[in-house]
Chains A and B, each alone.
Chain A
Amino acid sequence: MPIQFACPVCKKLYTVDDFEIGKKTECVQCGQRIQVPTPSRNRTVLGEAVDPLPSNIYRCIFCSAKISSPKAVPVGVTITCPKCRQRFNPNGGDSNGLDQAPIPLPKRIASQTLTRETRSAQPDEDSPKPSLEYYGYLPPIPKSRTRLAYKAVGCGIVLFSILIAVAVIVFLRGCDSIESINPFGASTQDEELLIWVPPDTEVLVSINVEELKTAEQWKSLLQGKQKGKQEGLVLPDPTKVILASKGNRRGSQEIEVYRLSKPFDPNPYIRSGAAKVKKKDGRSYLEFADENQYLFNPTGGIVILSPNENMLFEAMEGKTGKVRVDPEVLKLFREAKGPINGVGVGPAAQTSSPVVRFSSVYKEPPPLCLSQLTKSKMRSDRIDFEVTYQYSAPEKRSWRGSNWNPE
């Protein structure tokens, strides 16, 4: 708290903080040495006594009106206030029941700020307890506060409903994206079919029937495997494939081969920018933001090759296997800027050897499939076709590793 004082000689005013009290200094104007004084304190003084009312003048206990009487009222006698017509005993006591009633405070006090005098005027314990509002100790809760509470509850309900709506939308969108990726629809039987159809299901998407006419080639492939010879399927254009090897050639590098056990939905990755759709030579593939990570034929090819072992996808389940890749193959894989149509894995899978499609990455080969046009009929407005695919195995569980016999 600042203190003001003046130099006693030249009357120059100074203002200092209270912690400077008692400090000595020189007046900047006249050079007089002065000391910061202690401010005058609020001393206790004697209160002024007020004369009581004359003995023949009374005050109504109900309306506080002054009532003068020619004589002093005897003890026990009640009088009537001429103003409010209430009877009371001016000398106190309980001559009749009227003066036993609690003395109510004037109503205007209840709305005023409580002072020491009004606080000391609390009724005795014997008297009935007045309401809080009457004395005004606790002010009633303002309406604005209750409105605020209602607003808070309303906002909470609105936010909760918004959250529920967002969750429902996210759930439904996720379901849609999964369903849309399944070319067979949503029935369980179709999903089962999707599993054991050859993994290069681009056949079913692009209607490239030629791919399904490879039963003889598969047969020759398996015969070659039984004799310990090359493992692979000759493709029309072997320059578009990449080769890997399980052998231990010098400089070979171990890589992870991932297989998706369920249809992979690339749309979330594309939307989030984690992957980009690239296309070359009429074929599309996914290129992920991470280096050297490509996903080929994401709707059905379900093969991912990556030199990065940390590569994991949420949509990916389980089965991984390690293969060794020739250095020149790996170089080819890394330098490939366009699509890679196939991956060959096998003892004889070298750059100069025949290669296989995606399916050969599996430990067990996929079932054979024969397709033929079984019916065609010319109608007036259209041509009806019926194509039958004959598979060698009814379900995936029946063909495992070397136990699988296409015969």
Chain B
Amino acid sequence: MAKAVGLVDFEDETMYFVRVIYDSFKLEVSGKTVVTTFSIPHREAKRIVLLAD
């Protein structure tokens, strides 16, 4: 995904968030419904909270 958005700045905090969840990102499609699942490790969650602050 990081390659897919090669135009964006990798220093961006949002992109950091993308990279964190990309490792566990899964996607299932059935009809009109798309279900995505991902997980965020606690250490990264703390970091995200810090970034948000």
Contact = CB atoms under 8 A, between A and B. Distances in A.
A329 interface: no
A3 B52 CA distance: 104
Contacts of A382: 24, 39-42
B1 interface: yes
A98 B30 CA distance: 105
Specify the main secondary structure of chain B where it touches its partner: mixed
Interface in B1-53: 1, 3-9, 12, 14-15, 17-18, 21, 24, 27, 29, 31-42, 45
Nearest to B7: A284
A374 B37 CA distance: 10
A298 B6 CA distance: 10
Given A181-B4, A381-B42, A394 B31 contact: yes
Given A205-B18, A381-B42, A391 B33 contact: yes
Interface stretch (A120-128, A182-190, A313-321): A182-190
Contacts of A207: 14, 17-18, 21
Interface string A270-287: 000000010100101110
Contacts, number: 90
B45 A390 contact: no
B15 to A, nearest CB: 8
Interface residues of A, number: 39
Given A207-B21, A382-B41, A183 B7 contact: no
B17 A299 contact: no
Interface in A283-308: 284-286, 298-299
B4 A387 contact: no
Contact of A383 (B9, B29, B34, B40): B40
Interface of B: 1, 3-9, 12, 14-15, 17-18, 21, 24, 27, 29, 31-42, 45
Interface of A: 180-184, 189-190, 193, 205-208, 266-267, 277, 279, 282, 284-286, 298-299, 367, 374, 379, 381-394
